[in-house]
Amino acid sequence: MPSAALGAALARCSFLVNGVSEQEHARALHPCDELDVLPPFAGP
């Protein structure tokens, strides 16, 4: 089970599934899917 700090960090991340932005965090992944987790980027 992830720690509270990890959960808070992941809540701020963006996710790509097969190179496409995914907003539905409950989406099931298939064995051939590629998941990218992008950290929040600081802006000016």
Q: Given a cut of 90, is residue 37 above it in pLDDT?
A: yes
Side-chain-facing half-sphere of 38: CA atoms under 13 Å: 12
pLDDT at residue 4, rounded to an integer:
87
Confidence of residue 34 (pLDDT cuts 50, 70, 90): very high
- What are the residue boundaries of the structural domains of the chain, listed by start? 9-38
**Cβ(34)–Cβ(15) under 8 Å?**
no
- Report the pLDDT value the prediction gives residue 25, as an integer from 0 to 100: 82
Q: Helix, strand or coil for residue 42?
A: coil
Which residue has 């097969």 as its token pair?
18
Strand 20-21 and strand 14-17: the pairing is antiparallel
Q: What is the pLDDT of residue 30?
A: 97
The predicted model gives 15-41 an average pLDDT of: 92
Q: What is the mean pLDDT of the chain?
A: 86
- pLDDT band with cut points at 50, 70 and 90 for residue 42: low
User: Amino acid identity of 23?
Assistant: Q
